Structure 1
Amino acid sequence: MSRCARIRPAVFFAVIAALLLSTPGTPVLAGHPIDAAFEACRQKAMDTASIGQCTTTARQQWDKELNAAYAALMQALEPGAREALKASERAWIGFRDAEIKFLRERFSTQDGTIWPLVEEAQVVDLTRKRAIQLRCYGKMMDMEGPPDAECP
């Protein structure tokens, strides 16, 4: 019997929820629409495939958020800063891709269906952090509007 087969379903889903929602160093974005939708989806999910779909959807939505923040920031920057941001984003994409490769290598040797979910949750976290970082850079520049609790 594999290690995963010995885990009770309730314990399994509790572990999944903890891994997906409490990545160390990640601010809990209570109230962010993407995270709220992810949580609602995850609460309804009854199996790992459903949780995987919820996580994939959240990653796609955070990726759209990241792209929108990048585009808005690029429009607000002077030409020299635009080039620097472009270089920074390319370097971040390289880091992200290397991190995903590491995660795939590491988790591909593990037994159980939880590990692809853990990997995808880490990718969501990377994407979320970068989207927030870019949006915060834009907010620092405009110095208008209400304070954003997600920004330093």
Structure 2
Amino acid sequence: MKKWLPVALLLVSGFASAQQQNPIDQQLDQCMNKESTTLGMSKCYDTASKAWDKEMNVQYTQAMKKLTGDPKDKLRSAQRAWLAYRDSWLDASRSYFLSSQGSMAALSVGAQGVSLVRNQALMLQSINKGSCANPGDC
């Protein structure tokens, strides 16, 4: 019986985390599980990136409506800097992966793009919610 306890706990924790997964990430997982081509998987990443970008913009708009004065100015400046960083990072990443991975580069860059935008959307959400101390908070 004791041998099965760690396995049971892993299954329960895996189920709990799947229940808390964002719908955008759930759709990405479903899409990736269906696709078997590089082109198809790239489209999955593109769709998820666009969905996270939309969520990021919703969170940014909400935060900008809420803030005034210096905090609002600083957030605007930070978001502009982040956009420049994202574009620069993806350009550098694309250059590196194209030289080292060939056709698989699109998947690596796609995954990074989704991750970057998801993280920024969650950071903006933390401003709106006031906390992201726990993964479930955001």
Q: TM-score w.r.t. structure 1 length?
A: 0.72
Whether 1:74 aligns to 2:64 is yes
Whether 1:149 aligns to 2:136 is yes
Deviations 1:37-65 (A, max 9, x none): 01111111121111111110000000001
Shift of the 111–73 alpha-carbon distance from structure 1 to 2, 3 Å rule, reads: closer
Shift of the 111–87 alpha-carbon distance from structure 1 to 2, 3 Å rule, reads: closer
Does the aligned pair in 2 maintain the 1:55–1:120 contact within 8 Å? yes
Identity value in percent: 30
Tell me how large the CA RMSD over aligned residues is: 2.2
Which of 46, 51, 64 matches 1:61? 51
Whether 1:119 aligns to 2:106 is no
Give the partner amino acid of 2:94. Answer: R
Report how many aligned residue pairs link the two structures.
Answer: 120
1:136 corresponds to: 126
2:25 corresponds to: 35
Between Structure 1 and Structure 2, the one with more helix by share is: 2
Which of 88, 91, 114 matches 2:81? 91
Residue 148 of structure 1: how far off its partner (Å): 6.3
Give the partner amino acid of 1:46. Answer: S
Q: TM-score w.r.t. structure 2 length?
A: 0.79
- Unaligned runs of at least 5 residues, structure 2: 1-17
| Rounded Cα–Cα distance in structure 2 between residues aligned with 1:106 and 1:29 | 36
| Rounded Cα–Cα distance in structure 2 between residues aligned with 1:148 and 1:101 | 29
Residue 96 of structure 1: how far off its partner (Å): 0.8
Shift of the 132–111 alpha-carbon distance from structure 1 to 2, 3 Å rule, reads: closer
